Amino acid sequence: MPYHAPVDDFSFLIEHVVGVEQLRQTDRFADASRDLTRAILTEAGKLCDEVLAPLHRIGDLHPATLENGVVRTSPGFDAGWKAIAEGGWVGMSADPAYGGLGLPITVASAVNEMMSGACLSLQIAPLMSQGQIEALEHHASDEIKDLYLPRLISGEWSATMNLTEPQAGSDVGALSTKAEDKGDGTYAITGQKIYISWGDHDVTDNICHLVLARLPGAPLGTKGISLFLVPKRLPNPDGTLGPANTVKVVSLEHKLGLHGSPTAVMQYDGATGWLVGEKQGGMAAMFTMMNNARLGVGAQGTGVAEAAYQHALAYAMDRKQGRTAPEGTVTGAIIDHADVRRMLTTMKADIFAARSIGLSCAVAIDMARATGSLDWQARAALLTPIAKAFGSETGIAVSELGVQVHGGMGFIEETGAAQFSRDVRVTAIYEGTNGIQAMDLVGRKMMDGGEAAHRLLDEIEAFAETAKDMFPDLAEPLWQATESLREGTEWVAAQEDMTVRFAGAAPYLRAFARILGGYLHLKAAIVAPGTAREALARSYILRLLPEHAALLVHAQAGAEDLYSLSPDELAA
């Protein structure tokens, strides 16, 4: 079965579950009407179904290659990029003053997820451009904005972010790339960066790299890092392209998946660059891009989960083997089997949870931008690591279940089931590993003593109270689970030893996601009682939500046992 963009599901969530009506009451997003939103989602769905989805398998079978210093992308990827660019999808939420559409991040996130489900290898490219556009909007000089933003937004040029080095992965402060002031407003950038998604390719005339580097005399660590814009080709003041910059591709990484996405090792040899933001303010500027990317990566995971689920469902409805279903429901296919139903229902329920959490995070970001509210800023900050980690973990878990639904055929590459698992695996690693997301949640995001978390828990409990009139059997366990999470949050916030917090950070984040998923499922059931929405909410709350209890026990177990074995004993 070919991929079909879940436009109806997004429309339902946006209109009835995640609170978009609040956005339409602000001056900034007053024009983002229901009809406009639906039209955008519908057109994006057509793009995904008809143009991008056919490229998914092609990218895996015909990977990007490096030939004589030139990266050749997979067949059809140039046409796919052109369709994305000409449709305005790169600059969906960008400033209209530079050619963007000015749409809410919420709508852009929905479109990005659909694109990810259709062809993740290609979708990474516009996501990188979107992040750079946002960073330049907030931190670049007017001269840089005027020259670069219209061309990035139109898709004439594309973008990357360059953080990682061979010796400096998540510890960005250990980077060694150098920048030297040339005295003419430009800087010479020298160093090597690895894992650069779409670091080079043949689908745009210019590629704009945001590069972290250190100026002479700058302090060690993250405080001494600055950010520079380094184009592949040096532009003239009118935007026409001049000579090639001294930046080149050393090699392309040989990866587990995402073969259609060229991931490059980049070498900068005194390459000309321009400072973005303040000197030694590189991390603040880059995190503008990183936070955008983290929400996008969560959507990538959920998008691949949707595609893997559709693939598995089609196989389960077609594969004939055994008869175990209740009388009157037998189809003769393996979808009759209770365990296959368990897997498919789990997949669908978790996709809904991850998708709604991601959209709720996007709404919070939009509300913060539209109102300047500190409470909305705190809500967005709290939800970002949860959306990234749970979205990517859902992609991994659902794609693995997709292989299992296929049985032995899932292990055979020709069925295509394994590609989803291979492609999505990296989403738990890049833009900050999920462990880092969890540490951020219990560390930086709890510096307020858990105040932002408690406001959200108050909201969930209040909703559960009102929902008891309609669905007491669903609302009561949600209320109880939320109260348990509140107690766990109080415990986390009280721990002064950060190692203790970090030891339980991952299960705490997942427990939080479980409760959020139950909350959003119940909201859907309230809106559409007696439908499949209620049935799915019932399955999630009765079968998956109870996992929170064990997760919270794990989260509060401390760190002593993790360090009771020495490295030598672990190796024994």
Known catalytic residues are 431
Q: List CB contacts of 147: < 8 A, sequence separation 6 or more.
A: 235, 237, 239
Helix (H, G, I), strand (E, B) or coil at 455: helix
The separation between CA 500 and the C-alpha centre of its own chain, rounded to angstroms, equals 27
What's the 3-state SS for 456-490?
HHHHHHHHHHHHCCCCHHHHHHHHHHHHHHHHHHH
Residue type at 516 in one-letter notation: L
Residue type at 559 in one-letter notation: A
CA angle 297, 273, 287 (to 5 degrees): 30
Question: DSSP assignment, residue 449?
Answer: T
Compute CA distances 475 → 8, 427, 464, whole Å: 26, 33, 5
**What distance in Å separates the CA atoms of residue 290 and residue 34, rounded to the nearest whole number?**
30
Q: Considering only CA atoms, which of 426, 400, 403 is closest in space to residue 301?
A: 426
| Cα-only R_g, the chain | 24
Compute CA distances 554 → 43, 118, 414, 500, 557, whole Å: 45, 36, 40, 11, 5
Separate counts of helices (H) and strands (E) for the chain: 19, 11
Answer for the pair 325, 340: CB distance below 8 angstroms, yes or no: no
Q: List CB contacts of 37: < 8 A, sequence separation 6 or more.
A: 11, 14, 15, 20, 107
**What distance in Å separates the CA atoms of residue 387 and residue 25, rounded to the nearest whole number?**
25
Residue type at 144 in one-letter notation: I
**What distance in Å separates the CA atoms of residue 248 and residue 190, rounded to the nearest whole number?**
12
Question: DSSP assignment, residue 168?
Answer: B
Work out the number of other CB atoms within 10 angstroms of the CB of residue 222: 17
Longest dimension (CA), the chain: 81
